[in-house]
């Protein structure tokens, strides 16, 4: 295969020229370096950037680099455990309390939640902690310190029930997005109908605009309560909610929501719109590609 022009040019760079390039990076103004760092993925900030040079390592100490942290991919590859807890403490500490978005998965206990609660993260607006082995008490302790939260993802946190949902709604008055996916086949196939979680959402989270309650155990009554009590709802995902019968009487209520996934506006027996089968297949494939096959 012919070499590209870039490859040929790179070969022609002498060691001295490479050194000058590295010096130029190192001599960038600190504030400029910080702006560069803020645009890099969290994984790169933790694994690659510290190895570049001393100036870059120093720039990483600026709290502005840690306002938006997404550790999901790293947590999946790490497999959870104490190393994830240590990493959460590291990024929160470096943010000096200024972290605005935190995405982390596979928490093995309430330890990280307790640390976050003690850190008083008044700037935190987005918290995504899916697939974590946390308790309702641990989550409630944290939520009580986050009244300004607007987005919460507690998908596959099987211990989180009505008690926590009520605390979330009563504390986080500005909450506009809640994700509660359940992908365990055992719960989907054996769980009995239960509207308690849906009612907790309906009666305590009136400002919701985005709700994902995939594989929930709610019935038509629970769904109607959500539609009635959350008038600002724009996006609703109720795929695989086996006890929702999708009666035609819900048509006018669902049509007020800009996008509903998992409900047929025609009131047919199918739980999906005409394109939902393809969407569902794509959704499943995305999860497999992202390494989420262990959900099933």
pLDDT tens, residue by residue, 20-50 = 444 555 566 666 677 777 777 777 777 777 7
pLDDT of residue 64: 86
Spatial strand order in the sheet of 210-212: 68-70, 101-103, 126-128, 151-153, 177-179, 210-212, 235-237, 259-261
Tell me the Cα Rg of the chain: 23
**Gap between the Cα atoms of 126 and 175, Å rounded:** 10
What does the H/E/C string look like for the chain? CCCCHHHHHHHHCCHHHHHHHHHHHHCCCHHHHHHHHHCCCHHHHHHCHHHCCHHHHHHCCCHHHHCEEECHHHHHHHCCCHHHHHHHHHHHHHHCCCCCEEECCCCCCCHHHHHHHHHCCCCCCEEECCCCCCCHHHHHHHHCCCCCCCEEECCCCCCCCHHHHHHHHHHCCCCCEEECCCCCHHHHHHCCCCCHHHHHHHHHCCCCCEEECCCCCCCHHHHHHHHHHCCCCCEEECCCCCCCCCCHHHHHHHCCCCEEECCCCCCCCCCCCCCHHHHHHHHHHHHHHCCCHHHC
Burial class (CB within 10 angstroms; exposed 0-12, middle 13-18, buried 19+) of 273: middle
Dihedral (CA of 281, 283, 287, 293) sign? negative
151-203 pLDDT, tens per residue? 999 999 989 999 999 999 999 999 999 999 987 655 556 668 999 999 999 99
Question: What does the pLDDT read at residue 264?
Answer: 55
Q: Which structure tokens are listed for 9?
A: 């040019």
Cβ–Cβ < 8 Å for 187, 162: no
What local confidence, expressed as pLDDT, does residue 186 receive? 54
What backbone torsions phi and psi does residue 295 show, to the nearest 5 degrees? -65, -35
What pLDDT tens digit does each residue of the chain (296 aa) get?
Answer: 444 433 444 444 455 444 444 455 556 666 667 777 777 777 777 777 777 777 777 778 788 888 999 998 888 887 777 888 999 998 999 999 999 999 999 999 999 999 999 999 999 999 999 999 999 999 999 999 999 999 999 999 989 999 999 999 999 999 999 999 987 655 556 668 999 999 999 999 999 999 999 999 999 999 999 999 999 999 999 998 888 887 766 778 888 899 999 865 444 333 434 444 444 445 444 443 444 333 33
Q: How many other CB atoms are found less than 10 A from the CB of residue 15?
A: 7
Chain position carrying tokens 């006018």: 252
What is the distance in angstroms between the CA of the first residue and the CA of the last residue of the chain?
Answer: 43
d(CA 66, CA 60): 8
What's the pLDDT score for residue 31?
Answer: 66
């Amino acid at each position: 295969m012919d070499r590209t022009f870039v490859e040929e040019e790179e070969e022609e760079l002498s060691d001295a020229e490479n050194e000058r390039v590295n010096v130029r990076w190192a001599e960038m103004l600190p504030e400029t370096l910080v702006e560069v760092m803020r645009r890099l993925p969290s994984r790169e900030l933790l694994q690659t950037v510290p190895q570049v040079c001393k100036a870059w390592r120093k720039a990483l100490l600026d709290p502005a680099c840690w306002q938006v942290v997404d550790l999901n991919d790293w947590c999946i590859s790490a497999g959870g455990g104490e190393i994830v807890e240590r990493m959460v403490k590291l990024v929160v500490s470096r943010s000096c309390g200024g972290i605005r978005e935190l995405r982390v998965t596979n928490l093995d206990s309430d330890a990280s939640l307790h640390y976050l609660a003690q850190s008083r993260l008044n700037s935190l607006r987005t918290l995504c902690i899916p697939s974590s082995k946390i308790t309702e008490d641990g989550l409630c302790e944290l939520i009580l310190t986050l009244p300004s939260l607007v987005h919460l993802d507690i998908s596959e946190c099987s211990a989180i029930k009505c008690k926590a949902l009520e605390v979330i709604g009563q504390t986080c008055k500005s909450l506009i997005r809640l994700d509660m996916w359940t992908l365990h086949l055992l719960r989907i196939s054996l769980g009995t109908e239960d509207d308690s979680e849906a009612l907790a959402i309906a009666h305590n989270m009136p400002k919701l605009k985005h709700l994902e309650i995939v594989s929930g155990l709610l019935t038509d009554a629970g769904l109607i309560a959500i539609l009635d009590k959350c008038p600002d709802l724009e996006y609703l995902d109720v795929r695989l909610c086996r006890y929702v019968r999708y009666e035609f009487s819900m048509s006018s209520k669902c049509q007020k929501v800009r996008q509903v996934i998992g409900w047929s506006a025609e009131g047919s027996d199918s739980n999906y719109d005409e394109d939902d089968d393809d969407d569902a297949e794509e959704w499943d494939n995305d999860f497999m590609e992202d390494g989420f096959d262990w959900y099933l």
